[in-house]
Structure 1
Amino acid sequence: MFGTSGVRGPFGGLITPELAMSLGHALAATGLDRVVVGHDARTTSPLLADSASSALRSAGVDTVRAGQVSTPALARGVEFTDSDAGLMITASHNPPEDNGFKLWEPSGQAFGEARRAEVEAALNALEPAYASWDAIGAEESAEQLTAQHVDALCDAVDIDGSCSVVVDLGNGMGNATVEALLRLGCEVQTLNATPDGRFPGRPSEPTAATCATLCSVVANTDADLGIAHDGDADRMMAVDETGSFVGGDELLALFAREVVSDGERAAAPLNTSLVVDDVLEAQGGSLTRTKVGDVYVAEAALDDDVVFGGEPSGAWIWPDEALCPDGPLAACKLVELVEQRGSLAAQRATLASYPLRRTTVETDQKAEIMARVRDAVRQTYDSERISTLDGVRIEYDDGWALVRASGTQPLVRLTAEARDERRVDELVEEVRQLVDDAR
């Protein structure tokens, strides 16, 4: 049930108050004594938080109610509130009809495979155990988590306030970015700043297509850059001063170049561009490729010599600060980078540009298709060119391609990169044919 980013689905379908209660009892069955519970602005989130909290307390677990909060604030709040785990009610960047659950360790890291498996086993074997009437869990409020998050952001960067920034919150939970930048002296203009789980301003996921208004505003003002968050603010994407959307691989390369020194590493998933390898190699560093999912990037970031991790989708991790993807932290780090290194457009211009294609195939038979693709690839390509760490990645002399099942949606994702446009189109068609033959 739990994918790489928790569990998500349509409210009233997969996600119900009954599932929230079962999850609360399952968490109690794993031996937790104290859980901090928060939720995003989706219309169904408060009642799911109520259901989960009620089940936890009825099983004798103390709950800390964080209220409406961003995912990074909740993840950091597990330690702040001295809790054993964090439960965030959110579907992140999914559409408004969806909801879901994310689980967090006291370290601020998402539950890994072992912890997720433990919770799933408790769910599957569930027989709710209720505490006696005089031993139910206590409940307290911790609505200060956003303020504590803002304090941590301000401490994490050196900003003199010379930047003008447009922040598109997407009607989500990224207000910590605004508060921190204002406190640091920046000029800030906001778009879609009112939390609203219907996401009336734009779709929740910040992409080049959904951030057209942000691009236009930045292009037609004297802003130095634009920032965009998703619904729960664990993601951050950006727009340079010309109004051009900055690709996730470019951001990953810029952040990694700023942080990684000789002999150090960054961590990123298998679908990351070669431009990141090039940047790190020039600095004497290297890139460790992980499975897709910020939980795997965070696990790699536990190594002492991994000083940064990220995903092109917009999740960024500085392990010295936090092991959760933190959109507001990334926003502040990017403003710091622009203040210290100059124009974001000029910094982008120093990066190589390789054509990269990403597309998807809709299917409700992900597992079967991926099994057939693996078999076909093993019969077609030399073994040293194949990685099955996460999906199927094929290395070519002049590029690479990845076929991978989505962890949260009924999709198979196809990604390819090469040194020129003609070749990347050939690679996309090659792996698309593999998937078509497997259907």
Structure 2
Amino acid sequence: MERREYFGTSGIRERVGEGLTADLALNVGRALADDADRVVVGRDPRESGTFLLDALAAGLAECGCEVVDLGPAATPTVARSVAWRDADAGVSVTASHNPSEYNGLKLWQPSGQAFDTPMQEEIVERLVTEEFDYAAWDETGGRREWPGARERHVAAVVDAVDVDPADAPSVVVDLGNGAGTASVDALVELGCDVETLNAQPDGRFPGRPSEPTAANCESLCDLVASSDADLGLAHDGDADRMMAVTGDGAFVAGDALLAVFAQAFAGEGDTVAAPVDTSLLVDDALADVGADLVHTRVGDVYVAERAAEDDVVFGGEPSGAWIFPGETLCPDGPLAAAKLVELVANGPALGERLAALDRYPIRRDSREVADKSAVMDRVRDAVHDAYDDVDTLDGVRVDLGDAWFLLRPSGTEPIVRVTAEARSEERADEVFAEAEQLLDEAV
């Protein structure tokens, strides 16, 4: 098999029938079985997930690995079930927030952490050489279901928070036609009055696009605003992400929600991990409680790697992936939903918490490019020639003192993302235009 970049920032993710085929899923199963005796598998509601999961399971069993099949399941349910079933690894067949024509394979360790870079490289090497350790005819692996996975996940979420049912808020949950029903079950058990939106699992995502952005969650905002709900919550297709809406129907920007979580769960001397595109408001929120922010590469894999270290009490991405290392190292949308409900139940309300934060104008855009690697090479050369404080941890981040900008290639799509932030609207526009001009010239 040819060598290519199989793994992006969130596992293997490609268009079905093009970069991602049953053949690839079969070989990933074979490759993974080399280091595993038991593997947990599950999938989001996408139609293509059925045959991809079957192919994956066949490759695992063919090489002697026992397969624990959760069927349709949220990605955090799969990740957490690796330890619960005493397995060696887990695989979610999901493209998460991507459109329905995509699917993917995300690999999990028993800790709940996604496969790190060295582990991914081992899988890629086996995919390239196609040197698999096939089992004898009478030593192949079996495949069995575990119908109790969601219930175990719900119980874990409920146990992780402290909510007096008398104070539990009224919540609208937009599941986005995805796999996040564990979130609803957990909130009901906590005593919340729950109304659902787009609750029917459907991999075509007819209710709204899978990614829970402000533009895609307008119906949720309208419903919360026109009801007595205290809070709105939204998941993506596999429920590893969670975004929120205040009681008056305002969508909460990811950086602001990250700041709320960070300030609530970090204290004096603690560290919070977040990617290089995180707003300055998170730094300021943490400074108020004596905690620090450490930057990582963009992607929950990298946030989780840093969150695995003892000094980190919380990790998150503005895209909606939240990691509570005391519970699990996977982004867990239902857990994040329950944690936010806990904060609201114990006061103050989400809107009040947001009002107490500083706000800085941040600009974000994406540009489709034909060759993102070549474009980024040209950007990197130009930036090093023109600026002094340059960070190339992930993409190119330039610190201008009173502002910063970042040009970074997507790990899953042929695009370059542009981000800029300053302490005034005029300066933010100026810096953003500066960054876009750099990209224009590189393209």
In the alignment, residue 278 of structure 1 is paired with which amino acid? Answer: D
Give the aligned partner of residue 85 of structure 1.
89
Q: Using the alignment, how far apart are the partners of 2:283 and 2:349 within structure 1? A: 23
Question: What's the counterpart of residue 76 of structure 2?
Answer: 72
**Pairing partner for 1:182 from 175, 178, 188:** 188
Rounded Cα–Cα distance in structure 2 between residues aligned with 1:20 and 1:143: 23
1:149 pairs, out of 150, 153, 170, with 153
Equivalent residue runs for 1:19-418 within 5 Å: 19-29=24-34, 31-161=35-165, 162-382=168-388, 385-418=389-422
Deviation (angstroms), 1:434: 1.0
CA distance in 2, matches of 1:302, 1:57: 31
1:58-91 alpha-carbon deviations (Å, 9 max, x no partner): 1111111111100001000000111110011000
Task: Give 4+ residue runs of structure 1 displaced > 3 Å after superposition.
Answer: none
Once the two structures are superposed, residues 5-60 of structure 1 have per-residue CA deviations (whole angstroms, 9 ceiling, x without a partner) of 0011111111111111111111123x221111111100110111011101111111
Residues in 2 aligned to 1:216 and 1:409: alpha-carbon distance in whole angstroms: 31
SS of the equivalent of 1:307 reads strand
The number of aligned residues is 436
* Mapped partners of 2:281, 2:132: distance in 1: 51
Cα offsets for 1:240-264 (capped at 9, x unmatched) = 0010000111111010111111111
- 1:127 CA displacement: 3.5
SS of structure 1 residue aligned to 2:54? helix
1:374-428 alpha-carbon deviations (Å, 9 max, x no partner) = 111111111xx11000000000121110000000011000000001111111111
Maintained 8 Å contact 2:176/2:205: yes
Deviation at 1:209, TM superposition (A): 0.4
Alpha-carbon distance, 1:348 to partner: 0.8
> Does the alignment pair 1:419 with 2:423?
yes
> What is the rounded CA distance, in whole Å, between the counterparts of 1:179 and 1:313 in structure 2?
24
Q: TM-score, normalised by structure 1?
A: 0.98
Aligned AA for 2:235?
H
Partner SS state of residue 246, structure 1: coil
Q: Once the 2 structures are TM-superposed, how far is the Cα of residue 121 of structure 1 from its aligned partner?
A: 0.6
Q: Distance in 2 between matches of 1:23 and 1:33?
A: 15
Structure 1 CA distance, aligned partners of 2:263 and 2:136? 56
RMSD: 0.9
Residues in 1 aligned to 2:355 and 2:131: alpha-carbon distance in whole angstroms: 59
Does structure 2 conserve the Cα–Cα contact (< 8 Å) formed by 1:81 and 1:142?
Answer: no
Question: Once the 2 structures are TM-superposed, how far is the Cα of residue 432 of structure 1 from its aligned partner?
Answer: 1.0
1:432 equivalenced with 2:436 (yes/no): yes
Shift of 1:364: 2.4
1-structure distance, mates of 2:57, 2:83:
18
SS of equivalent residue, structure 2 residue 196: strand
Say whether the 8 Å CA contact 1:317–1:325 is kept in structure 2: yes
User: How far apart in 2 are the matches of 1:75 and 1:129?
Assistant: 25
What code does the residue aligned with 1:84 have? D
Q: 2-side partners of 1:91 and 1:378: how far apart? A: 35
1:7 matches 2:32:
no
Equivalent position SS for 2:248: coil
TM, length-normalised to structure 2? 0.97
2:126–2:132 CA contact under 8 A, matched in 1: no
Distance in 1 separating the partners of 2:188 and 2:81: 22
Distance 2:415 2:106 in 1: 21
Q: CA deviation at 1:128?
A: 4.0
Question: C-alpha separation between the residues in 2 aligned to 1:202 and 1:220?
Answer: 19
Alignment deviations for residues 175-214 of structure 1 (CA, whole Å, 9 cap, x no partner) = 1111011111110000011111111110000010000000
Distance 1:364 1:69 in 2: 35
Whether contact under 8 Å (2:93, 2:106) holds in the other structure is yes
Q: Could you report, residue by residue, the CA deviation over 1:93-119 in whole angstroms, capped at 9, with x for unpaired residues? A: 011111110000011000000000110
Tell me which amino acid in the other structure corresponds to 1:189.
E
Q: Write out per-residue CA displacement over residues 147-192 of structure 1, whole angstroms, 9 at most, x where no aligned residue.
A: 1100000000111233100000000011111101111111000001
CA distance in 1, matches of 2:204, 2:28: 25
Rounded to whole Å, the distance in 2 between the matches of 1:333 and 1:61 is 36
Q: Distance in 2 between matches of 1:173 and 1:392?
A: 35
Q: Distance in 2 between matches of 1:116 and 1:326?
A: 21
* Unmatched segments (≥5 aa) in structure 1: none
Deviation string, structure 1 residues 290-344 (Cα, Å, up to 9, x no partner): 1101111111112212100000000000100110000010000111111112221
Aligned-residue offset at 1:141: 1.4
Secondary structure in 2 matching 1:303: coil
Question: Which letter maps to 2:16?
Answer: F
Q: Quick check: 2:43–2:94 contact (8 Å CA) kept in 1?
A: yes
Aligned 8 A contact 1:165 1:187 in 2: yes
**Residue matched to 2:3:** none
% same residue: 56
Counterpart of 1:76 in 2: which secondary structure?
A: helix
**C-alpha distance in 2 between matches for 1:344 and 1:389:** 33
Q: Which residue identity lines up with residue 26 of structure 1 in the other structure?
A: A
